[in-house]
Structure 1
């Protein structure tokens, strides 16, 4: 694997200004909260699983699992400016959010959305677009939605490997390859048989993995879980991924991970470079 470095660059200005800056000679990432990331790859601006609204707080207010934000959205859909591509890993609202995606679709009529083919019909309704603006994906597919950007879809298990009547997977992870810089966003997942082989084949330099874990109590409430911090680190080790950003924490109090535990593990994670997703930080992948 080619030598690639991961840099962390804190910044003080609003994310909108940082995201709108000159194209970097690298692959840059900004955390949007939960599993959401904004990416800049040369002149491209790409979103993965953006949840920038309070739609879930409104839906679940007064229930046993209130989805009130622990952190504000670092940017609004309008402040994102021009976007070239949105990737959504699955149908849950904190990954496929009508209140975030529909305004983007209305403002940017050329914008396309990569979604699991199993959820394409739901995506057209939530986003308010026709099928011509979707890029329907299934595990094992590879596409080039933008010149020079390759996207590979792999399976995810949020807590099960779920398929529709046509055998298409409802939960996906995406490997992105731009100019030889490769990252992997797992979507929501737990470990499953065959996972390591699929992820290793992507030869990623950086993994974006959820670390909020899972519990019987949440499962009983209908809330599927994710990798634990130990499981996420083990996946990187088994796949030869040198760096990882731990996310899916700090948004909903009933379903999060302790930042102190992530930071403590990061201090002893070598040779894995373990980073906790933070706002006001630019993460860069660049050729070393």
Structure 2
């Protein structure tokens, strides 16, 4: 069972919020909660696990316990890695709320086969819905578009574009620069983009446990390349806080972004922080 360092104040904060547009909370790692004016609540890549010490060591608090979540219309996963699809983090949310899990096929295989969510938790198979690049679906007041992502370490990565009357949010998962981003930036008016950022570090190999030079996330130049192609007004760096050896300083990105038209603003947040979409640009 997952235990939180913060008790339940964050999930109560989400439940009690009455946003004028879209409120977005950063959960650390690459996790987010979106809540719209009508109360639609969507979790994206929530991960509350501790990693696999000493290979992957969590560097931030566990912000809530999934069993405390009473309101969620959906949980979305961008790809099949453990810190994006994780039964102990996500299945209790689905069991408590009856929400739908949207994910690519390989991510669903983790839920159905590797972790047996329907056997281990009170999750039904009809709560698990496969999505693929090019799909569009509705979750309450959000229109969600499944778009391309470039994550060489994943087998079936996607990104998500959330459209709402208040603005548009892009979640790239662990994507690096992608040929499709210029098209996506032209097709959607992206107000806020969350993109994974981190350093290159030496992480023990999964099998040999020998320290190995590892690049899982965008470096300073790659993340600005992504943001510029997407033409996003605001860039929110994510994932930089999570793993020992791969943490980074997102404030340094200001120097890399200064000479580009996009992003227009750097949105630096910490775990538990809230930002908004309110058509301010």
Tell me, yes or no, if the aligned pair for 2:25 and 2:34 is still in contact at 8 Å. yes
1:69 and 2:61 correspond: no
1:88 and 2:77 correspond: yes
SS of the residue aligned with 2:267? strand
Tell me, yes or no, if the aligned pair for 2:174 and 2:196 is still in contact at 8 Å. yes
The equivalent residue for 1:120 is 108
Q: Counterparts of 1:242 and 1:234 in 2: how far apart (Å)?
A: 14
Q: Can you list the C-alpha shifts for 1:144-201, whole angstroms capped at 9, x where unaligned? A: 1x23311111121212684xxxxxxx10000001225111000111113333223442
SS of the residue aligned with 1:20? helix
CA-CA distance at 1:224 after TM superposition: 5.7
The equivalent residue for 2:220 is 229
- Give the count of matched residue pairs: 260
Cα 1:237–1:157 change in 2 (3 A) is closer
Cα 1:19–1:177 change in 2 (3 A) is same
CA RMSD of aligned residues (A): 2.8
Please give the TM-score of this superposition, normalised by the length of structure 1.
0.80
Bigger mean CA deviation after superposition, 273-282 or 178-187: 273-282
The equivalent residue for 2:93 is 104
Q: Can you list the C-alpha shifts for 1:40-79, whole angstroms capped at 9, x where unaligned? A: 112011100000122x2xxx334xx2x2221111222123
Structure 1 portions without partners, runs of 5+? 1-12, 163-169
The equivalent residue for 1:45 is 41
Bigger mean CA deviation after superposition, 114-123 or 213-222: 213-222
Please give the TM-score of this superposition, normalised by the length of structure 2.
0.81
**Aligned match of 1:242 in 233, 254, 267?**
233
- Higher RCO structure, 1 or 2 (CA under 8 Å, sep 6+): 1
Bigger mean CA deviation after superposition, 191-200 or 95-104: 191-200
The equivalent residue for 1:183 is 169
Q: Counterparts of 1:266 and 1:14 in 2: how far apart (Å)?
A: 35
SS of the residue aligned with 2:57? coil
Bigger mean CA deviation after superposition, 21-30 or 214-223: 214-223
Q: How does 1:209-228 map to 2 (within 5 A)?
A: 209-212=195-198, 214=200, 221=212, 225-228=216-219
1:285 and 2:277 correspond: yes
**Aligned match of 1:141 in 129, 135, 138?**
135
Q: Counterparts of 2:154 and 2:79 in 1: how far apart (Å)?
A: 12
Tell me, yes or no, if the aligned pair for 1:215 and 1:225 is still in contact at 8 Å. no
Structure 2 portions without partners, runs of 5+? 1-7, 206-210
